[in-house]
A and B are shown apart, each in its own frame.
Chain A
Amino acid sequence: MLNLPPYASPLERLWRVALILLCAMVLLYLISPIIAIMPLSFNSEPYFTYPMPGLSMRWYEDFFTDPRWLDALKSSLIIAISATALSMVLGTLAALGLAKANFPYRAWVMAFLISPMIVPVVITAVGMYFFFANLGLNNTYFGIILAHTALATPFVVITVTATLIGFDQSLNRAGASLGAPPLTVFRKITLPLILPGMISGALFAFITSFDEVVVVLFIASPDQRTLPRQMFSGIREQISPTITAAATMLVLTAAAMLVTVELLRRRSERLRGIRS
């Protein structure tokens, strides 16, 4: 576990132990707040404090019977799935274009396409709120989907671009010179190689939209109230432990996505021969 070279001195060993202890505490700091709220979702009483007087499933029942939570879940899914689909198409196309040799002003174009990820989301949200008001897009699903697509596409561009780094363009040329039409080349050669990146990108895009609350705060009406928006007002306005139930389910979803992305990344690296 210490993983030290044989020539390490006792002082060095001591340092290493101290370092490992420090890291254990950092890991605890990272994970404990997330773990701490999970049991609270099974609390029989409506408080957020330990120790819990008893266990019950009432907050989960609440979640799945309260139309406000269910509507929020539905809105979130509609928006996140549409935004993901849209950003997949736009992002993958752009990443393929950017991967071509000597793309003019590549760094600047890339910086521009990624900028929605960098610009403070409040600025984006307020700007969209003013702009969409003129177009009648505030308080519509369509407006939120457009906004979330803008915020989510950078993730697709980045992940697909990453899988294209080290992608040997001569593979495509070889396919074409053997007589395959472009679509076949794409389907048989490019797609399998970038697919892991696309799926990771899709998951990132999905979770970006699914978690987004600031833009929704500004441009959505009660009809498009999303899950994070419902949680936000839950913490600020109407405090109920159903939030911890929703949070627990979201953590489990995140864990599932994380595992998927990790498996895909390894598969992609293996396919491209980066790591055996």
Chain B
Amino acid sequence: MKKQMMIKGSVAALVAAGVLATAAYASGSLTVVSWGGAYQEAQRNTIFKPYADKTGAAVKEEEYTGEIAKIRAMVESGTVSWDVISVDTPTALQGCDEGVLEELDYSRIVDKSKILPGAALDCAIGSDVYATIFAYNTTKFQEGPKTIADFFDLEKFPGKRGMQKNPMNNLEWALIADGVEKDKVYEVLGTPEGVDRAFAKLDTIKSQVVWWEAGAQPPQWLADGEVVMSTAWNGRIANAIKEGAPLQIVWDAQAPDLDMWAIAKGTPNIDAAYDFIAFASTPEVQSALAPSIPYGPTHLDAVALVEPELAKTLPTHPDNLALAYPFSAEFWGDNMEELRARLNTWLAQ
């Protein structure tokens, strides 16, 4: 008797759990995945909320730190829960090669000729131009670092540094700081000796490096005094400065790249995903982002709408662009997996 009661109870519990589960699962909404922190907040205010207001569709947000593996794991295991994903260019290229991103049908998004050259890829469309730079806390130095070589100079500029837990940009910077010319970086990095040389340079500061994964960490660490200087994305630092943090951006050897919208292969919400990307790619929506975070638009009509004062803070301003090294997304599309595995081994040793 009591057993029966218990069994009935357990069946009821299972059924109840199942009902709850399906009820919650059926409420499918568009999931947009981005990079968290100040960037996602700017996107929330200028893209997600206006889109939700306009269409009445719920936008569910998720944050990640740029791992293509998460996308691939979902696609391979057939449980795609991300619809629209903000990726960088190397990830867009690699994801397209490996078949984890949908090939885009531009007729459903925007006139391709209106997009910056190089920003309309097969599987992703550029949403904004950002840069990876380094920044320092101005209260920690009388005279701050000026070049990427200073970043690697522990004698002149002692203290902890923040770096992204990612080989991209870090290896290039190590080589530039080691004396390689900016436009020869990939020639050197393309050889095993060049990779060894970059890691050897990183070895010289390894003990002083704290590794970040999320873009929100560098401004927080810089402001808290956790590190004295850090690599970062320019918009995160610019917004922290706006909030009163004593930080300074160094544009030397900046690495400009694109944030891009991509669609996870096999998402059940593909129509909503296209609808969202089309909305986000209109010049009006694009030009609203830069005032919230200094990332430049990719739609040519939106480029014209940016205020000249604001334009100076963008990675694409000629003064800033002159200092950049020629970042190669193609190199990383092919070599990311190998070099990241090497970096992770190097880190754990």
Q: A-side interface residues toward B, CB under 8 Å? A: 47-49, 68, 75, 78, 82, 85-86, 89-90, 92-93, 129-130, 133, 136, 138-143, 145, 181-183, 186, 221-225, 233, 236-239
Contact = CB atoms under 8 A, between A and B. Distances in A.
A222 B61 contact: yes
Interface residues of B, number: 39
Given A223-B25, A223-B60, A236-B213, A133 B10 contact: no
Contact of B214 (A130, A222, A236): A236
Q: Which of A49, A138, A143 has most chain B Cβ within 10 Å?
A: A138
A138 B214 contact: no
Contacts of A47: 223-224
Contact of B2 (A48, A186, A233): A186
B336 interface: no
Interface stretch (B15-23, B90-98, B113-121, B202-210): B15-23
Interface in B146-199: none
A141 B17 contact: yes
B139 interface: no
A90 B7 CA distance: 9
A135 B167 CA distance: 36
19 contacts: A82-B16, A82-B20, A86-B13, A89-B6, A93-B3, A141-B20, A141-B25, A142-B21, A145-B17, A182-B1, A221-B81, A223-B25, A223-B27, A223-B31, A223-B60, A225-B62, A236-B214, A238-B37, A239-B217
A227 to B, nearest CB: 16
A48 B223 CA distance: 11
Contact of B25 (A92, A140, A186, A239): A140
Contacts of A129: 77
Contacts of B79: 133, 136, 138-139, 221
Nearest to B27: A223
Contact of A141 (B3, B21, B65): B21
A89 B13 contact: yes
The 9 closest A-B pairs by CB, nearest first: A221-B81, A141-B21, A142-B21, A133-B77, A237-B214, A89-B10, A222-B62, A183-B1, A138-B79
A237 B5 CA distance: 47
Given A85-B13, A140-B25, A238 B216 contact: yes
Interface in B58-94: 60-63, 65, 77-79, 81-82
Contact of A142 (B5, B17, B27, B220): B17
Contacts of B217: 239
A204 B65 CA distance: 34
B216 A239 contact: yes
B333 to A, nearest CB: 25
Contacts of B348: none
B36 interface: yes
Contacts of A136: 78-79
B318 interface: no
Nearest to B22: A142
B224 A141 contact: no
Contacts of B16: 82, 85
Contacts of A222: 31, 60-62, 81-82
Given A89-B13, A223-B25, A237-B36, A49 B224 contact: yes
Given A141-B24, A145-B21, A183 B214 contact: no
Contacts of B21: 140-143, 145
Contacts of A182: 1-2
Contacts of A181: 1
Contacts of A140: 21, 25
A233 B24 contact: no
A47 B245 CA distance: 12
B63 A238 contact: yes
A93 B61 contact: no
Contact of B24 (A85, A89, A223): A223
B14 interface: yes
Contacts of A225: 62
B137 interface: no
